[in-house]
């Protein structure tokens, strides 16, 4: 048919059918008006194929109008499905469980709103902390006597700009013994012109050796020193430096290998690592859902408290998103007339009816049309005073999110169940050409959707 350059779902309809006298409205742009427009077009149709209507200033025949109405249905179906997916995504973010799969393609996961955690550290320095999804809500009190360290050996100090470096460059190699393994490191001094550059050449060779030790040159007040440090911390993290370079560099131990010493909730502990793993999922787990990093000794009079709590802001935002998308989907169902099965709406109504008292108690209410409203202040208050009640009503196994997600999941697995078989007849006269065209179009669409699913 002729086109005005606009999508058929957004075209203006104007004019009077010369046989029926029916007058079309103008400025049709929404899903609701699209359904209404199909009724107007159907009522305006008459049998002779020469009859025409004016759409956007262009004369269109009966067959063109039928094709246009059929196209409207094809445009509405993906819009409805898109809103099903959006509602399902919002519901999934509030499901019970520590982590929810977000992408079937990448397998990446992200914690649900009720599993996300906030960590606070108060009382002093010496400790930082992080918590992963589902960490137990708790408080941990620390004092730190000393942190863990691997051995550090430092060379003598050399005037950084001193060009007399033959004693270093002619000494050959450095050996580093870690446990029973000895590694020989041979620096390249060809570009070194002073003492600092000669030490940097040794550091570069050590770092390229791929061993459990790192090296750096520390310069201050015109003097440079080479430091070699075990990467692994703890009392067992020692090493022995030797070879031809050991004597001219004059290494000495400046930091002895040691374990961390700290108290946790009043009990004394030691650790070869400065990362303390707490709240392990099982006794066999090597990591915990709470990680505390010991960064320095605390004052003897200071206790550092690490608190793990829910992230109420994330929960509130997720509930808002669920309610917004729930309402949009409900409005979409109303807008498209009988295109969507009554069963879908009944399932959503059933979820609200079953949870009405529980939802009302945390600030979520529904009007007579099933449109939800959130009192944010009431929700935040309930999160502080009765968090378990909030989680049960929204994020529990039988909560609103799980019920809504169940509906949307079933639709996404078999999208055809969403659409009524006689959708066209519900919005147009049963005998009209448009109704017949749309019955066929919708039936084919349902088959295609289920095949793709």
Instruction: Answer yes or no: is pLDDT of 449 > 60.
Output: no
Average pLDDT over residues 108-132: 86
Residue 347 contacts by C-beta under 8 Å, 6 or more apart in sequence? 407
Q: Which residue range is the domain that position 273 belongs to? A: 117-137+259-307
Residue 221 sits in the same domain as residue 281 = no
Residue 91 sits in the same domain as residue 128 = no
- Does residue 415 form part of some domain? yes
- Does residue 200 form part of some domain? yes
User: Residue 311: which of 117, 100, 99, 90 has the closest Cα?
Assistant: 117
Q: Which two tokens stand for residue 217?
A: 């040159």
Instruction: Answer yes or no: is pLDDT of 393 > 80.
Output: yes
Residue 184 sits in the same domain as residue 127 = no
Q: What is the mean pLDDT of the chain?
A: 79
Average pLDDT over residues 326-336: 88
More confident of the two residues 38 and 392: 392
Average pLDDT over residues 433-438: 44
Residue 318 sits in the same domain as residue 406 = yes
- Last residue of one domain, picked from the residues 213, 230, 255: 255
User: Residue 139: which of 129, 124, 149 has the closest Cα?
Assistant: 129
pTM: 0.67
Reported in sequence order, the residue ranges of 17-137 that DSSP labels E, i.e. its strands, are 52-55, 58-61, 100-101, 109-110, 117-122, 127-131
Overall number of domains in the chain: 3
- Does residue 342 form part of some domain? yes
Q: Calculate Rg over the CA atoms of the chain.
A: 36
Residue 317 sits in the same domain as residue 418 = yes
Sheet of strand 174-178, all strands in order from the earlier edge strand to the far edge = 181-185, 174-178, 240-242
Q: Cα separation of 273 and 234, whole Å?
A: 6
Share of the chain above pLDDT 90, in %: 54
Spell 99-124 as b/e; 16+ CB within 10 A means b: ebeeeeeeeeeebbbbbbbebebebb
* pLDDT confidence of residue 421: 57
């Amino acid at each position: 048919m002729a086109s005005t350059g606009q999508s058929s779902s957004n075209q203006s309809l104007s004019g009077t059918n010369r046989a029926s006298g029916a007058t079309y409205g103008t400025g049709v742009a929404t899903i609701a008006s699209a359904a209404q427009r199909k009724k107007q077009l159907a009522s305006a149709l008459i049998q002779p194929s020469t009859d025409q209507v004016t759409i956007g200033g262009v004369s269109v025949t009966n067959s063109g109008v039928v094709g246009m109405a059929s196209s409207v249905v094809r445009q509405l179906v993906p819009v409805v499905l898109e809103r099903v997916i959006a509602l399902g995504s919002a519901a999934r973010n509030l499901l019970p469980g520590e982590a929810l799969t977000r992408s079937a393609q990448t397998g990446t996961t992200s914690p649900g709103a009720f599993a996300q955690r906030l960590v606070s550290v108060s009382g002093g320095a010496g400790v930082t902390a992080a918590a992963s999804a589902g960490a137990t809500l708790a408080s941990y009190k620390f004092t730190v006597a000393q942190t863990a360290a691997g051995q550090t050996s430092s060379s003598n100090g050399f005037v950084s700009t001193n060009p007399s470096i033959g004693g270093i460059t002619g000494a050959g190699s450095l050996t580093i013994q870690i446990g029973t393994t000895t590694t020989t490191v041979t620096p390249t001094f060809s570009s070194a012109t002073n003492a600092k550059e000669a030490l940097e050449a040794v550091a570069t060779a050590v770092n390229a050796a791929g061993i459990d030790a790192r090296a750096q040159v520390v310069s201050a007040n015109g003097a440079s020193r080479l430091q070699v440090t075990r990467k692994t911390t703890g009392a067992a993290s020692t090493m022995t430096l030797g070879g031809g370079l050991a004597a001219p560099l004059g290494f000495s131990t400046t930091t002895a290998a040691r374990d961390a010493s700290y108290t946790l909730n009043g009990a004394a502990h030691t650790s070869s690592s400065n990362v303390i793993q707490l709240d392990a999922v099982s006794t066999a787990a090597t990591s915990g859902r709470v990680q505390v990093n010991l960064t320095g000794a605390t004052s003897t009079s200071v206790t550092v408290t690490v608190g793990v709590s829910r992230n109420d802001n994330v929960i509130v935002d997720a509930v808002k998103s669920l309610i917004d998308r729930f309402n949009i989907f409900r409005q979409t169902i109303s807008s498209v007339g009988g295109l969507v099965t009554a069963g879908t709406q009944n399932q959503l109504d059933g979820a609200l009816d079953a949870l009405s008292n529980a939802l009302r108690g945390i600030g979520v209410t529904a009007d007579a049309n099933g449109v939800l409203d959130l009192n944010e202040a009431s929700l935040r208050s309930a999160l502080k005073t009765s968090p378990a009640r909030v989680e049960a009503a929204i994020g529990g196994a039988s909560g609103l999110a799980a019920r809504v997600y169940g509906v949307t999941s079933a639709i996404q697995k078999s999208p055809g169940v969403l659409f009524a078989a006689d959708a066209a007849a519900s919005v147009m006269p049963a005998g009209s050409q448009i109704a017949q065209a749309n019955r066929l179009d919708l039936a084919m669409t349902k088959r295609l959707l289920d095949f793709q699913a």
